[in-house]
């Protein structure tokens, strides 16, 4: 029997039928085994059997099936008195079966025993208000272009359902009510219902997918994490919590224009929502609009009047080795200023001069003296001149450009700004290229002093440190070593380091760069250049398909890797987030026009 319906021209002309005529198919042909809807075919499958136990995302095999599938979950809560009465009746039936078996001297059916125990547990949770009962109907409508494809698709869906012990049956002779049941009409025309409790129903949350962090039964629930985007293959949500990984570090590698800064800004903004304190080293002033929107602090290194004294001691740090650690940092700083590590004679002279300079300022190993004004780099150079050793005199001469010469503006005075707040952006845009590496190192040192402060561990405040264009430090041995130390020691101080770079060779081409990557539990790969794909593929163990995907990836598309787990994702943002994250000239021009109108 076939029933064929078609929208009449008169009905389509009615004003009330305008919307229905626009969205409805031209015709629906009903057969016992399927429907012909417009130019395609559809068949409805009804879930009639459920597994005895389910875990989170138990509908995942059906939701991630690659074909076109409409899944409808109809939920009807049962009133508490009705639920209690039905449960009492069910338990009485189980107890009756137990007694009958015992009176006949037979063994009790194991399935009855299990069902009776489950019913007793559910009755206890209902009595305590820890659970409720619902009548649930689960229906699947499979679509295909041809009749043969539909039969094959239905077989695949049945196999996917059977993989999780879900039993489905075709809605024979009832495919038209089945199709309308899976439309967004909130009408269940099949009424093939099953009673479920709150826990089993919650585990069927329809947005669950392999891209969400999966939990095993008994695992503690997660409340953190941020939205990274959606999976372009499964349309699932990619949600990631870096703070629950073995370390909190991340590395983002991509070619210029691939959307790495856009992704990082979204990550920063969504971490700020959760109370994370963020510090950013920004070489190109890309994060200033974000800082302005959230009330952050901007430190513009290199701008007139902005000074940063590298000899400052951490405020409030009373540990006995504070002066020693400051001296070690000054050794690193001088090496970066000179472009290489000084020879042994100059290093020895520098060590003597550092201690002598602090003593002349009245600062010793005694923490009671650490509140006194710190000496300047010029004082250190003067101490080297007065040393009398040829190596000390030569080192002082080599430091002249940063003390009295062209690069002295940043160092020739006490620190003029205190970087405090929930978001601090260290802008390097005003620094000359020769001082970019030094500026990055000074910013990271100031950030590390706040992360390593004795009180920060007790407060357990999460801190995120973002180093954009990290190749500025990676190309310098001492700077890369400082970054590596921060990546290793940050976890114990509730801190995570995000390293972003477009120069993959500087990261993967050195031992220290590879060590920084290895110490990042979260690894983000966006579009890669053909010249770098082999190095990236070998370093991250990419398959041939993943390499092709990264070569052809659109802006914002990439790969999230953590250990052996990996998933593709596409960054998504709300309109307000997009306005803060975009750097496209056309978007910025539109934003400027909007501001002018306001």
pLDDT tens sequence across 153-192: 999 999 988 888 889 999 999 999 999 999 988 889 998 9
Show the tokens assigned to 496: 């995570």
Output phi, psi for 29, to 5 deg: -110, 120
Kindly state the DSSP code that residue 439 receives in the 8-state scheme: H
- pLDDT score at 8: 44
Helix (H, G, I), strand (E, B) or coil at 109: coil
**pLDDT grade, residue 113 (50/70/90)?**
low
Q: Is residue 428 scored above 80 in pLDDT?
A: yes
Output phi, psi for 321, to 5 deg: -100, 20
**pLDDT grade, residue 249 (50/70/90)?**
very high
- pLDDT score at 206: 59
Q: DSSP H helical segments within 490-522, as ranges?
A: 504-508, 511-518
Q: Which of 19-33, 56-70, 349-363, 565-579 is predicted with the least confidence, judged by mean pLDDT?
A: 19-33
- Residue pair 256/441 in contact by the 8 Å Cβ criterion: no
Dist. CA 484–CA 517, nearest whole Å: 9
Beta bridge partners of 563: none
Q: Is residue 597 scored above 60 in pLDDT?
A: no
Q: Which single residue is written with the structure tokens 């100059």?
A: 346
Kindly state the DSSP code that residue 74 receives in the 8-state scheme: E
Q: Which residues contact 241 (CB under 8 A, 6 or more apart)?
A: 213, 222, 224, 225, 226
Q: Is residue 219 scored above 60 in pLDDT?
A: no
Kindly state the DSSP code that residue 358 receives in the 8-state scheme: H
The three-state DSSP-derived secondary structure of 275-306 is CCEEEEEECCCCCHHHHHHHCCEEEECCCCCC
Q: Is residue 29 scored above 70 in pLDDT?
A: yes
Task: Give the pLDDT mean for 290-304.
Answer: 91
Q: Is residue 7 scored above 50 in pLDDT?
A: no
Neighbours of 574 (CB within 10 A): 10
| % pLDDT > 70, the chain | 84
Q: Give CA separation, 206 vs 63, 80, 440, 482, 598, in Å.
A: 8, 25, 45, 46, 42
Dist. CA 357–CA 399, nearest whole Å: 15
Q: Which of 214-228, 263-277, 399-413 is predicted with the least confidence, judged by mean pLDDT?
A: 214-228
Q: Of 238 and 125, which is predicted with more confidence?
A: 238
Upper half-sphere CA count for residue 338 (Cβ side, 13 Å): 20
Q: Which of 178-187, 289-298, 492-501, 511-520 is predicted with the least confidence, judged by mean pLDDT?
A: 511-520
Dist. CA 71–CA 143, nearest whole Å: 11
Q: Is the dihedral of CA 71, 77, 82, 88 positive or negative?
A: positive
Task: Give the pLDDT mean for 407-419.
Answer: 86
Q: What is the pTM for the complete model shown?
A: 0.66
The per-residue pLDDT of the chain, averaged, comes to: 83
Q: Is residue 318 scored above 70 in pLDDT?
A: yes
Q: Is residue 152 scored above 90 in pLDDT?
A: yes
Q: Which long-range contacts (CB under 8 A, 24 or more apart) does 11-20 make?
A: none
- pLDDT score at 510: 78
Dist. CA 274–CA 373, nearest whole Å: 37
- Smallest CA-to-CA distance from 440 within 413, 467, 400 is with 467
Dist. CA 20–CA 578, nearest whole Å: 36
Dist. CA 95–CA 90, nearest whole Å: 9
Q: Give CA separation, 589 vs 288, 578, 582, 596, in Å.
A: 16, 14, 11, 11
**pLDDT grade, residue 457 (50/70/90)?**
low
Dist. CA 525–CA 553, nearest whole Å: 10
- pLDDT score at 426: 93
Task: Give the pLDDT mean for 521-531.
Answer: 92
**Cα distance from N-terminal residue to C-terminal residue, the chain:** 66
Q: Is residue 401 scored above 70 in pLDDT?
A: yes
Q: Which of 3-12, 76-85, 173-182 is predicted with the least confidence, judged by mean pLDDT?
A: 3-12
Q: Is residue 508 scored above 50 in pLDDT?
A: yes
Task: Give the pLDDT mean for 203-215.
Answer: 57
Dist. CA 22–CA 176, nearest whole Å: 20
Helix (H, G, I), strand (E, B) or coil at 183: coil
- pLDDT score at 3: 43
Upper half-sphere CA count for residue 523 (Cβ side, 13 Å): 20
């Amino acid at each position: 029997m076939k029933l064929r319906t078609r929208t009449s021209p008169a009905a389509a002309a009615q004003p009330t039928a305008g919307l229905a005529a626009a969205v409805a198919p031209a015709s629906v042909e009903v057969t016992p085994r399927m429907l012909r809807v417009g130019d395609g075919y559809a068949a409805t499958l009804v879930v009639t059997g459920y597994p005895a136990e389910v875990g989170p995302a138990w509908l995942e095999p059906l939701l991630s099936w690659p074909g076109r599938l409409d899944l409808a979950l109809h939920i009807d809560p049962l009133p508490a008195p009705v639920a209690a009465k039905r449960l009492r009746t069910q338990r009485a039936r189980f107890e009756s079966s137990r007694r009958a078996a015992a009176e006949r001297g037979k063994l009790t059916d194991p399935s009855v025993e299990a069902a009776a125990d489950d019913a007793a547990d559910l009755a206890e949770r209902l009595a305590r208000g820890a659970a409720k009962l619902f009548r649930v109907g689960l229906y699947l409508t499979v679509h295909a272009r041809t009749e043969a494809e539909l039969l094959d698709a239905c077989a695949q869906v049945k196999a996917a359902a059977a993989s999780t012990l879900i039993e489905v049956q075709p809605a024979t002779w009832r495919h038209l009510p089945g199709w309308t049941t899976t439309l967004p009409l909130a009408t269940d025309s099949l009424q093939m219902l099953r009673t479920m409790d709150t826990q089993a129903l919650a585990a069927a949350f329809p947005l669950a997918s392999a891209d969400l962090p999966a939990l095993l039964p008994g695992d503690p629930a997660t409340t953190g994490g941020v939205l990274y985007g959606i999976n372009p293959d499964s349309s699932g949500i990619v949600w990631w919590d870096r703070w629950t990984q073995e370390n909190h570090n991340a590395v983002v590698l991509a070619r210029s224009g691939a959307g790495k800064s856009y992704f990082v800004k979204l990550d920063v903004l969504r971490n700020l929502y959760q109370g994370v304190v963020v510090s950013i080293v920004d070489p190109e002033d890309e994060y200033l609009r974000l800082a302005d929107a959230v009330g952050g602090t901007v430190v513009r290194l290199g701008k007139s009047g902005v000074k940063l004294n590298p000899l400052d001691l951490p405020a409030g740090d009373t540990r006995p080795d504070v002066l020693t650690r400051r001296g070690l940092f000054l050794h690193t700083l001088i090496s970066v200023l000179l472009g290489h590590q000084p020879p042994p004679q100059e290093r020895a002279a520098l060590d003597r001069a550092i201690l002598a300079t602090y003593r002349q300022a009245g600062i010793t190993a005694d923490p009671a003296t650490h509140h006194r004004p710190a000496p300047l780099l010029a004082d250190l150079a003067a101490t080297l001149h007065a040393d009398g050793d040829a190596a000390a005199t030569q080192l002082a001469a080599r430091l002249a450009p940063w003390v009295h010469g062209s690069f002295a503006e940043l160092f020739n005075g006490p620190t003029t700004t205190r970087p405090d707040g929930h978001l601090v952006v260290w802008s390097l845009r005003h620094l000359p290229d020769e001082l970019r590496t030094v500026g990055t190192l000074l910013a990271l040192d100031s950030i590390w002093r706040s992360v390593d402060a004795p009180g920060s561990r007790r407060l357990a405040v999460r801190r995120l440190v973002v180093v954009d264009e990290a190749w500025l430090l990676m190309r310098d041995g001492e700077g890369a070593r400082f970054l590596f130390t921060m990546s290793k020691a940050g976890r114990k101080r509730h801190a995570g380091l995000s390293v972003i770079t477009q120069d993959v060779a500087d990261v993967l081409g050195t031992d220290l760069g590879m060590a920084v990557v290895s110490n990042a539990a979260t690894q983000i790969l966006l579009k890669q250049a053909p010249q770098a794909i082999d190095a990236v593929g070998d370093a991250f163990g990419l398959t041939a398909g993943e390499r092709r995907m990264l070569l052809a990836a659109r802006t914002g598309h990439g790969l999230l890797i953590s250990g052996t787990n990996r998933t593709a994702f596409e960054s998504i943002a709300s309109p307000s987030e997009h306005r803060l994250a975009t750097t496209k000239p056309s978007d910025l021009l539109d934003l400027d026009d909007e501001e002018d109108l306001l």
